[in-house]
Structure 1
Amino acid sequence: MPDGQLKSVDIQIAAADLETLKNSQYQLCFAKKVNNSYNVVWQSAADYLSENTFSWQPLYELFGSNDFKGDVTVHVATNKVSIGLGDEATLDKNGVLGDASSGGPATGITLVNDYGPIHPGLCAYSTDISGRGTTTPIYVAENQVVAGNDVLTPVESVQVWFEQDIATSTMFSTARSNAIEIDLTDHNTATRLYSGGAWSTPKTNALFVDPKAILTVIAALTAAVVIQDLASKIASKLTGVYKDVKVDVTTMGGNTVKIEYREQQGLTAVRQNQTRLLLQNRTAVDQLAGFALESFAQLGVGYLTLNATTAS
């Protein structure tokens, strides 16, 4: 995921379809591709409205499960360990996962299996359509793996569909009815419309307007930081009322960083207006600056100088 960018999809539902789906108690479901397949409900929501935003970051947890069975909730049988792309973790002979360390393909997550037959699995962080951040399962290998190495490769594609009587973390092994795949490998945002029982990409010429810069923070830090780590820390805080704000972090040389907050691309005029009204409140702008300071502290650095400039 380049530059630690937040990925998000905006799901729009036409009024007539929304009424039909709600009356029939359909859930709005999301799944993430791993090893070129979808097999776990990442998030399932009943509280969807006409516009819904689902987002995620490259924050993963590795685990092992004793079984894979369709229409059953994932059972995490081992401990879980935080892990990133290009990392590996060892499942020892007692079935305990050790801490992650560098190793394996840069685009995958490697399980070094010293235990025996096990179903490797992954959890991932997401922000649901209500703005709540959680880490839930996205994948369980359908077949057991034996001793040796197994690589799990997350792909920046999600599957979206509507289904009755299904919950978050449910495993499935059959194709979901009337699902759409959204590939964000080369993009950070996408919008899809569900209307007349079919999916489409809405035209942007009338619906959307250009994003606007909000705040720029330039800080000279007391130590170097990994730009991607800082961007991810800040982006994880942009939930709830701040879900339509994005952040970019770049280096300006030495230990000086530039943090830019902007509106998300592809917002409808209504959502963009809501965001701009929110940011007319000075407290909201101060909160964005505060997210940067909190992220510095989480990474164990302070700042020598800091300049925050709001957009005119």
Structure 2
Amino acid sequence: MTDGQLKSVDIQIAAEDLETLKHNGYRLCFAKKVNDTYNVVWQSAAKYLGDNTFTWQPLYELFGSNEFKDSVGVRVSTNQVPIGLGDQAVLDSAGVLGDASSGGSATGITLVNDYGTIHPGLCAFSTDIHGNPSTSPIYVAADAIVPGTDVLTPVECVQVWFEQDIATSTMFSSARSDAVEIDLTEEDSAVRLYSGGAWSTPPSISVDTKAIVTIIAALTVSVGVQQLLAKITSKLTGVYQDIQVDVKVAGGNTVSLVYSEKPGLSPVRLELTRMLLQNATTVDQLTAFAIEAFAQLKAGYVSLTATAAA
């Protein structure tokens, strides 16, 4: 998977099931697989609708916790450090995590523990079903480790289920009832339907994404693909939630941004997105999102062209 690649799941709920779930206080829950297990509620939402989109990127933070306890919220006991796959960080004898550096497993995140007994943990970036970006815990090792090294391996699989009285960041040690696992290790998006109390995969509405706007910019400084993608994606909320962006860095400081429709949209959401694209101000707004992201990364630009798809 390309660094910074956006992943998304669209959760559709039949009208009768939605009524039943809401009436009985069920929450829509997401968890992410790490080390071949799910044990922390990544996001828990009470105000969900008949069609809900949850997105994320491989942007992580490493931390240590003093405990793993079922049905209790994660307590981050150390500082948190941004880290990526193929990186490692040292927890020193004082219990302070140092900055990430390259090393360790290429497909995992390595904690070098010089402190003592600790439960390694990970946070991850996501955008919830309301379009709000955040970084929250996705994993805490159930068993503490002693001094040495430990590898945390995130997997692009999520588990989705409905549950009463459970909050974001709650740890759990037992299988969740009637959960569905969605594997996005080879895909970037998926759609699941909850109807009649059961999960299914509805027929795909759209296989290929349709390009909307292409932006080419020559920047004054180099920027990371992952950082730029995260900045722009965080702005694609509200009416823009069904638009995705792909970022590529060419030679030197030239970047290309391609905005497109998300695949697998329901007919209603696809129609609304295409109506939005007929508005002449949409190109200006998507361009503004890019310029704002450049500014946040302290990168000016010497040239910029924005081309709308015919």
Matched residues in 2 for 1:228 and 1:117: separation?
A: 33
Q: Which moved more, 1:144-153 or 1:275-284?
A: 275-284
- State the superposition RMSD in angstroms: 1.6
**Structure 1, 195-204 or 282-291: larger mean CA deviation:** 282-291
| Structure 2: distance between partners of 1:96 and 1:209 | 47
The 1:202/1:229 distance shift into structure 2, 3 A limit, reads same
Give the structure-2-normalised TM-score.
0.95
Mean CA deviation greater in 193-202 or 211-220: 211-220
* Structure 2 residue matching 1:33: 3-state secondary structure: strand
SS of residue paired to 2:157: strand
Aligned AA (1:17): D
- Amino acid of the structure 1 residue aligned with 2:138: I
Quote the residue 1:83 is aligned against.
83
Counterpart of 2:222 in structure 1 is 224
Partner of 1:178: 178
> For residue 302 of structure 1, what is the aligned residue in structure 2?
300
User: Which of the residues 285, 289, 292 maps onto 2:287?
Assistant: 289
Paired residue for 1:266?
A: 264
| Secondary structure in structure 1 of the residue aligned to 2:286 | helix
Checking the alignment, whether the CA contact within 8 Å between 2:54 and 2:126 is kept in structure 1 is: yes
Secondary structure of the residue aligned to 2:171 is coil
Alpha-carbon distance in 2 for matches of 1:72, 1:237? 32
Deviation string 1:234-259 (CA, Å, 9 cap, x unpaired) is: 22322232221111123444432221
Q: Which amino acid aligns with 1:193?
A: L
Q: Structure 2: 5+ residue runs without aligned partners?
A: none
Matched, 1:8 2:3: no
Q: Does the alignment pair 1:234 with 2:204? A: no
Out of 242, 245, 250, the residue aligned to residue 244 of structure 1 is: 242
The 1-side partners of 2:239 and 2:89 are apart by 36
Question: SS of the counterpart of 1:21?
Answer: helix
- Do the aligned residues in 2 keep the contact of 1:220 with 1:303 (CA within 8 Å)? yes
Point out where structure 1 has 5 or more consecutive residues left out of the alignment.
Answer: none
Residue 278 of structure 1: aligned partner? 276
CA 1:194 to 1:227, structure 2 compared with 1: closer, same or farther past 3 Å?
Answer: same
Map of 1:105 onto structure 2: 105
Deviation at 1:272, TM superposition (A): 1.3
TM-score computed with the length of structure 1 as normaliser: 0.94
Contact 1:120 1:140 in 2 (8 A): yes
Which residue is 1:45 aligned to?
45
Matches of 2:132 and 2:249, distance apart in 1: 30
